[in-house]
Amino acid sequence: MDLLRETLTSAAHEQGFVLVGFARLNPLSEHEAFYRRWLADGGNASMTYLAKDPELRFDPRRLDARYKSVVSLGYPYAARATPTVDWRAEMRGRIAAYALGRDYHDVVKKRARAVGDVLRRLRPGSTTRTYVDTGPVFEREWASASRIGWFGKNTMILNREHGSYFFLAEIFTDVEFDATAEPYRDHCGTCRRCLDLCPTGALADGYVMRSELCISYQTIENRGAIPRDLRPKLGNWIFGCDICNDVCPWNDDHASDHSAGDLMPRLPEMLALSEEEFGRRFTVSAVKRAKRRGLLRNVAVALGNTRNPDAVAPLAHSIEAETEPLIRSHAAWALGEIGGSAARRALERALHDRDTAVRREAAAALETN
C-alpha cells in the first residue's frame, strides 16, 4: 500500500499537482450541525443547489457504497500582484486570478482523471470517481482530512508552502487508504486580516462565509440585481474577488507580476461586448459562468465606482442600445454615482425606458444627482 501511495503521488506530481493526500472515508458528522445551521441562516443565499440532498455531502458513500477512501489533490494557480495602475483614471476592472486562462474545471479534472487512470491500472477492477468543484462534495473538509492543509479563517484551505492559491480535486475510490501524515495544524493564529479587510464584511468569526455579502457571490452567482448598498463596496471587481487571498500572510511570497490587460481589462470595452463577442472571448474561461448579462452588470457598477466623467458616454450609450434591462438598470445607477449634466440628461431619458427597474434606478439616481 505504501508503494501504491508513492506511485500515485508521483503520478499526481507529473500531472502538476503540488499537494497529494489520502484519507479513509467516514461520515463528516462534526460538520453536519454547522452546515445545517449555515443553511438555516441563509448562508447559501440563492445557491439552492447547496441545500439539495445535504446527506450526500456528509458521507460520499451515499453516492456509491463502494467508496472507501479519497485522494485529495491541490493544483496551483498563479497569484497575481495587482498592477500598479490607477483603475479609476484608466477605467479598468478586476478579474480574480483563478479565472485567467482556460476554465480550471476542464484543466484540473482532466489531470485528476489521469491520476485516477493510474490507480485503476495498478489496481485492475477498482472504482474511481473524480470531482473538481462539482457535485455534492465537501472539498475543503476532505482536503483537511487528507492533511494537505488547514481550514483558514478565510474559509479556504491553506498550506504553509502554497498559501491558498490552489484548486482542489478529489478522487473517491474503493481502494483503501489511510491518512499518511499528522493532522495539519492551524497556522492562522490571531491573524484577522481576511476578516477585517473584507470590504463587505462577508467573513465572520467561526469560519463563516455570508454568501450574500461576498463579492465573488455577487459578481458570479447572483443572477439578479446587486443590492444598492453593496455596489460601492465592489470597487472594480467584475468577476470574483481575491481580497481574502491577497491579504493572507501565507500568500505573501506567491504573488507574481502580471499585465494589466489580462487581470484588469478596460471597462468601456467590456461594456460594449456583444453576445457573440462575449462568447468568443470567454468560451474556454471560467468567466463564462457569469454570463454576459451578469458580467456587464458588474462592469456597469465598476464604471460607476470609478467616478470618472469619461465613463458617462459608454454608460449612456449602454442605456440607449443595450437590450438587457439588468445591464441598463445598473448603468443608470452608475450614472448617478458619477453625476454631472451629461449623466443627468442620460438619466432623464432613462425615465422613459420600457423596463420598470431601469426607470426606478434612473429616478433614484436623479434624486442624488
The answer to whether residue 349 sits within a structural domain is yes
Q: How confident is the model at residue 362 (pLDDT cuts 50, 70, 90)?
A: very high
**CATH classification of the domain holding 312:** 1.25.10.10
The answer to whether residue 351 sits within a structural domain is yes
Q: Is the pLDDT of residue 258 over 90?
A: no
The answer to whether residue 200 sits within a structural domain is no
Distances 73 to 172, 272, 320, 345 between C-alpha atoms, Å? 11, 39, 49, 55
% pLDDT > 70, the chain: 96
Judge whether 187 and 273 are in contact, CB under 8 Å. no
Provide the annotated active-site residues.
133
Burial of 222 (0-12, 13-18, 19+ CB in 10 A): buried
The answer to whether residue 211 sits within a structural domain is no
Strand partners, 167: 75
Q: Cα separation of 122 and 137, whole Å? A: 26
Length in residues, the chain: 369
Q: How many domains does the chain have?
A: 1
Q: Tell me the mean pLDDT in the region 333-356.
A: 98
Q: Tell me the mean pLDDT in the region 52-66.
A: 90
Q: Quick one: which of 222, 215, 211, 242 has its CA closest to 291?
A: 222
Q: Cα separation of 166 and 97, whole Å? A: 11
6-10, 216-220, 250-254: range with lowest mean pLDDT: 250-254
Radius of gyration of the chain, Cα coordinates, nearest whole angstrom: 23
Q: Which structural domain range is residue 275 located in?
A: 267-369
The answer to whether residue 102 sits within a structural domain is no
Q: Quick one: which of 282, 273, 279 has its CA closest to 314?
A: 273
What is the tens place of the pLDDT at every residue in 68-122?
999 999 999 987 666 778 999 999 999 999 998 899 999 999 999 999 999 999 9
Among left, alpha and beta (phi > 0; psi -120 to 50; other), residue 132 is beta
Q: How confident is the model at residue 180 (pLDDT cuts 50, 70, 90)?
A: confident
Strand partners, 75: 167
Q: What are the backbone angles phi and psi of residue 20, rounded to the nearest 5°?
A: -140, 130
- Which pLDDT does position 53 carry in this prediction? 85
The answer to whether residue 167 sits within a structural domain is no
Q: pTM of the full predicted structure?
A: 0.94
Greatest Cα pair distance in the chain: 74
What is the tens place of the pLDDT at every residue in 129-168?
999 998 899 999 999 999 999 999 999 999 999 999 999 9
- Which pLDDT does position 269 carry in this prediction? 97
Q: Cα separation of 29 and 50, whole Å? A: 17
Q: Cα separation of 288 and 271, whole Å? A: 15
Going by their DSSP bridges, the two strands 79-80 and 255-256 should be labelled as parallel
The answer to whether residue 337 sits within a structural domain is yes
Q: Quick one: which of 276, 18, 257 has its CA closest to 149?
A: 18
Q: Cα separation of 108 and 284, whole Å? A: 13
The answer to whether residue 366 sits within a structural domain is yes
